[in-house]
Chain A
Amino acid sequence: MLDFVQQLVSGIALGCVYGLIALGFVLVYKATEVVNFAQGDLMMLGGFFAFTFIGMLGLNYWVGFAGAVICMALFGMLAERLVVRPILGYPQFSIIMATIGLGYFLRSVSGMIWGTDDFKIETPFSQGVLRIGSLVLAYDKLSVIAATIILCALLYLFFNRTTLGTAMRASSENMLAAYYMGIPVKRVVSIVWAISAAVATCAGVLLAPITFIHSNVGLVLGLKAFPAAVLGGFGSIPGAVVGGVLIGVIESMAGFYLPQGWKDVAPYIVLLAVLLLKPEGLFGLHVRKKV
C-alpha cells in the first residue's frame, strides 16, 4: 500500500510537469488554434537561461528565475513575430511544420551553445524531504506540484475573468470577427506566445533539479505532454493539468507494476484509446459542423 501511495505521489509530481508543458500547448491553442510543437524546446531554452543566470552568473535563485521568465517571454514574442505571424491563417499543417522546424533549430543551437552535458540548477528546495508517517516526499517534487496548481489557477482566472483573456478566447473562435470587434488580434497572439513561453520556463526551471537540463529534454518531455493535452481536451486549462497528472500516474504505475517497456508506451496507448473513444478529451468541446 505504501508503495502504491509513493508511486502515486511521484506520478502526480511527474504529471504536474507534463501538465505545465501541456498548459503551454493549451494556451497557444486556445488563443490561436495553433499547436506549438516547439513548446518542449521553449521549456528547455528557459531552463538553459535560468542555468546561465543562476549557475554561471551566480545570481540569486529567484532573481535568476524571474530573469529567465522575462527573457523567455520576450523570446516567445520574437518567435511568434518571426515564425508564426506570417503564416497565421494558412492551413494548420503549415504551422505545425513551422513550429517543428523552430524546435529543431532551438534544440541544435542550444546544443551548440551550452554543449550536450546535463546541467543542474541549485535550488532552495533541491535538498530535503517532507516526511508524513513513513511517506517520503522530496521538496523539489512538491514545488512542482504547488507551482502547477498556482499557475493553473492564475491562468484559468486570467482566461475567464479578464478582458484580455476574453479577447484571447474571441480571437481563437474567429479571428476576423474578433478583429472587427476592435480586438488587436496580432497583439493578443503575441501576448499569448509570451505567456506560454513564460509558463514553459517555469516548467523548465522547476524541472531542473528532477530531470536536469540538456538539449533534448524538451523533445522527450514535450512529446509526453501531448497525450496530456489531448487527454484533457486541447483547449481546456484545468484539462491540461488533469490530463498531465493522469498520464504521470499511469506512467509511474506502469513502470512499477507492469513489465519493463510498458512505462514508455503506456501514455501513448492511453492516448490512442482516448482519441478513439472520446476524441474531444475529458474537458474538451467538440461541435460537429452543420451544413
Chain B
Amino acid sequence: MRFLFKTDYEDDIRLFPHSGYIYSYGLLLAVLLLAPYVLSSYLMSQVVFVCIYATVGVGLLILTGFTGQASLGHAAFLAIGAYTAAYLQQFNVPFPVYFLAAGLLTGAVGALVGFPALRLQGIYLVIATISFAFIVEEILARWESVTHGNEGMRVKTMQLLGTTVSRDGPTFYYLCLAVLVLTIVGTLNLLRSPTGRAFVAIRDSETAARSMGINVALYKVKSFAISAAITGFAGVLFAHKLSFISPEMFTLQLSIEFIIVILIGGTFSLHGAVLGAIFLVMIDPFLTYLKDDMPGVIAGVAATLGAGTERAGHIQDAVAAFASANGLKGAIYGIIIVVFVLFEPLGLYGRWLKIKLFFQLFPLYKRATFKRQKIYVKSERNR
C-alpha cells in the first residue's frame, strides 16, 4: 500500500496524485488510440457510442452526482444540441462553429431550466425535468419549419478542416474520444475549483452551504448550465453518428438510460460515467451474442449431461424463443436497475474501490467501511 504524504494544498488537489496514475491512464489512452486498428467496425461504432454516452454521463454527474439535483430530462438537452447542429449545418456553417453554438445554446436552455428548478426539490424536480423534456419533444415534433417535425432531419457528413469525416471512420472516433477526454479533464478541474466545491456542498446540505455563504441559487443555475452544455456537445456528436435525427429518438426512455449510466457506474466519481456507459452500450452486443450463441451452448451442455439429442434440440428451441422474445431487453434493464439500487448502490466504480481496498487491507477489510447510513426521519417534506 502506498502512502501519500501531502505537504501543501497543491498536493491535495493534484489531478494525478502520484506517478502510477500517469502510467495507468497513459496506457489506457494508448490502448484507446490503437483501438481502431484492432476492433471490428461494429465494435468500433459501439465504442463511439460509449464515448458519447460517457460524455452525457459526465454532464449528468455534474448535476446529479455532484450538485445533487436529479434530472430525468437530459434527452431534451441532447436533442437541442443535435437539432442545433442539424439546423446550422443547412447554412454551411463550419463544424467548430456549430459545435460551439450547440453547446452554448444548450447551456443557455439549461440555465433557463435551472431558474425554475431553484424552488424545487427531490421528486418535484424530477417531475419538472420530465415535463420539460416532454415539452421539448413536442416542440421538436411541431416546429416543422425548423425541425421538419416527425419526418426528422438528415445530418450531413461532417466537414472538418477541409476533409470529410465519415461517421464510421477512425477520425470520428478520435474526435469523440477527444471530446470525452477534454470533458473529463475540464470537469475534474471544475470540481477542484471553488465552483466544484460549492456544488458538492450544496449536494451534501443546502442549508449548511447557504450558511457558509454559498450563493445556492447561482451555483445551481451554473450546474444546470454546465451540465446541459456538455450534453449539448454530446448531442452534436450523437447527431453525426446517427446521421438522422427525429423527435422520437429523444424520449423519456433515453433520459432514463442516461440515469442508468451514472447509476450503474457510480454517482460519486467521474469513473462512474465511463464505466456505466461501457456497461449500457455493451449490453446490446452481449444480448445479440446471447440470442445467437446461447441456445446452442445450453443445448450442448444439456446433451453432455445426458439429455439426449432430441431433448437438447427442444431445449435449444425453447431458449432461442425466450432469447428472441420481444421486450427481453426492457426486462433486463429493469432487473439491472433494481439490482444495482439494492445491492450495489455505489455502482461499478464502487465495486472496484471495494476490491482494491480488500487487497490493500487484506486481511483487515471490513464490509461496513462502505455501508450507507439509513435515515428514517424524513425531512424531504419540510426542508
Contact = CB atoms under 8 A, between A and B. Distances in A.
Interface residues of B, number: 52
B335 interface: yes
A172 B378 contact: yes
Given A33-B378, A101-B335, A272-B132, A291 B211 contact: yes
Interface string A101-124: 111111111011000100000000
Contacts of A112: 325-328, 331
A288 interface: yes
Contacts of B134: 223, 264-265, 268
Interface residues on A, range: 35 or more
Nearest to B378: A33
A262 B360 CA distance: 59
Contacts of B336: 101
Contacts of B375: 89-90
B382 A289 contact: yes
Contacts of B374: 88-90
B376 A272 contact: no
A75 B330 CA distance: 20
Given A105-B331, A107-B327, A112-B331, A174 B124 contact: no
Given A174-B378, A285-B381, A107 B330 contact: yes
B256 A100 contact: yes
Contact of A109 (B64, B327, B372): B327
A69 B291 CA distance: 37
A88, A106, A176, A275 interface centre (most CB from chain B within 10 Å): A275
B119 A276 contact: yes
Contacts of A109: 327, 331
Contacts of B79: none
Contacts of A276: 116, 119
Given A83-B342, A101-B335, A101-B337, A275 B126 contact: no
Taking each of A35, A172, A175, A265, which has the highest tally of chain B beta carbons within 10 Å of its own beta carbon?
Answer: A265
Q: What is the predominant secondary structure among interface residues of chain B facing chain A?
A: helix
A92 interface: yes
Contacts of A288: 382-383
Given A96-B123, A109-B331, A264 B379 contact: no
Contacts of A5: none
B329 interface: yes
A215 interface: yes
A179 B378 CA distance: 13
Contacts of A95: 341
B120 A279 contact: yes
B230 interface: no
A87 interface: yes
B93 to A, nearest CB: 29
B345 A230 contact: no
A24 B330 CA distance: 24
Contacts of A275: 116, 119-120, 124, 127-128
Given A234-B124, A268-B131, A279-B119, 16 more contacts: A35-B123, A87-B345, A90-B374, A93-B122, A96-B70, A98-B338, A105-B333, A108-B334, A174-B378, A215-B327, A265-B135, A268-B134, A268-B135, A272-B132, A275-B120, A276-B116
